[in-house]
């Protein structure tokens, strides 16, 4: 292994936060060389050789100087130097992680857009696509306890089902009674649901997400949807993971949903028998919120310099010892 590869391997083992390590006030690091220069000046000032070199001949001074080979010991001037160094680092503000802005919610707002088209009654996903979609919504709400969530239902038109609320039980109760018969079944307007979701999130001060639960989109959906929208979107495909429905009238066309997701800059999450899809959706929602907070100018770096106050206080207590003074 070459030296470059070895160094790269070592760097890869370090935590990712090390890459962001820096100082908030780096000018205070100027105290470090001043502290070292001060310590060196004290050593020279109290050196026996410096004091007597003009009085005693050098070849005699070497034999007359006492304690030349004494062992190292902790002295007042060394504690003062260490205190200056620690103070300089603390004042410089070492940091390696950001802190969330104050008065901001920890959980991202979420708009759920549920397709209530007649195709959602297909039973290629047991018991039906709609029933499975409602089960997934309830599972997602359980992961988002206390987080604000809204519901949009759409088919031939899009409608607000429930505005943003942190009452997950109320939202789950509302989801349970949803049926494909409550909306007109002629046509499907996915773009209207997305525009309504974008309008809701535009009023929020916290970065949110839109989750679209559907088994398909209309032919012109990609043309009418706003591909330039900056809203974080997730398309949750409600359909079988195999080709069991290819020959049916309401066949699930996964590839078409994937292409639609790419067109509107959304991520695609397929339906799974376990909770892996639910966990993936929630992880993407949380990741988007974290990235949005990191990119905002109001996000501050966490100043870790205060941790150095403890060793500074310990060094300060030494000044109370009798005789612990620095001779100038």
Angle CA(159)–CA(162)–CA(165) in degrees, nearest 5?
Answer: 150
pLDDT by 10s per residue, the chain, length 328: 455 555 555 444 445 556 778 898 999 999 899 989 888 887 766 655 565 556 666 666 566 565 544 555 667 778 888 888 999 999 999 998 777 655 444 578 999 999 998 889 998 888 999 999 999 999 999 988 888 999 999 998 899 999 999 998 999 999 999 998 888 767 788 989 999 999 999 888 788 899 999 998 887 766 656 655 778 999 999 998 765 555 466 678 888 899 999 998 899 999 998 899 999 999 999 888 878 776 665 567 888 888 998 998 888 887 777 766 656 6
- Whole-number pLDDT of residue 138: 95
- The structural architecture, per CATH, of the domain 110-295 is 3-Layer(aba) Sandwich (3.40)
Three-state DSSP class for residue 93: coil
Length, in residues, of the chain: 328
Angle between helices 309-317 and 76-92 (to 10 degrees): 160
Runs of H (alpha helix) within the chain: 3-13, 31-45, 48-52, 58-64, 76-92, 129-143, 168-176, 190-202, 221-224, 254-263, 276-295, 309-317
With a CB cutoff of 8 Å and minimum separation 6, the contacts of 144 are: 107, 110, 168, 282
Residue pair 110/149 in contact by the 8 Å Cβ criterion? yes
Look up tokens 């707002």; give the residue.
109
Q: What residue ranges do the domains of the chain occupy? A: 17-97+302-320, 110-295
Q: What confidence score (pLDDT) does residue 1 get? A: 46
Model-wide pTM > 0.85: no
């Amino acid at each position: 292994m070459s030296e470059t590869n070895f160094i790269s391997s070592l760097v890869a083992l370090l935590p990712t936060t090390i890459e962001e390590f820096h100082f908030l006030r780096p000018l205070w690091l100027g105290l470090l060389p001043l502290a070292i220069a001060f310590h060196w000046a004290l050593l020279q000032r109290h050196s026996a050789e410096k004091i007597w070199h003009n009085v005693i001949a050098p070849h005699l001074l070497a034999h007359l100087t006492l304690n030349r080979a004494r062992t190292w010991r902790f002295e007042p001037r060394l504690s003062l130097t260490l205190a200056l160094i620690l103070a300089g680092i603390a004042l410089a503000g070492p940091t390696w992680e950001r802190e969330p802005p104050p008065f901001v919610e920890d959980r991202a707002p979420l708009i759920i857009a549920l397709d209530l088209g007649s195709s959602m009654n297909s039973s290629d996903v047991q018991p039906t696509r709609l029933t499975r979609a409602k089960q997934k919504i309830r599972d997602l709400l359980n992961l988002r306890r206390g987080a604000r969530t809204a519901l949009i239902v759409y088919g031939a038109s899009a409608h607000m089902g429930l505005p943003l609320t942190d009452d997950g039980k109320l939202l789950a109760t509302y989801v349970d009674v949803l049926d494909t018969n409550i909306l007109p079944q002629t046509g499907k307007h996915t773009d209207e649901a997305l525009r309504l979701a974008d309008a809701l999130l535009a009023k929020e001060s916290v970065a949110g997400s839109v989750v679209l639960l559907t088994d398909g989109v209309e032919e012109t959906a990609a043309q009418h949807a706003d591909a330039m929208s900056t809203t974080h979107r997730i398309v949750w495909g409600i359909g079988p993971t195999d080709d069991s429905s290819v020959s049916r009238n309401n066949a699930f066309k996964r590839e078409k949903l994937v292409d639609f997701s790419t067109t509107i800059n959304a991520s695609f999450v397929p339906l799974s028998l376990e909770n892996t899809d639910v966990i993936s959706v929630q992880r993407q929602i949380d990741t988007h919120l974290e990235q949005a907070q990191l990119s905002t100018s109001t996000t501050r770096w966490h100043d870790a310099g205060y941790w150095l106050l403890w060793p500074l206080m310990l060094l300060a207590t030494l000044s109370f010892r009798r005789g612990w003074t620095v001779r100038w």
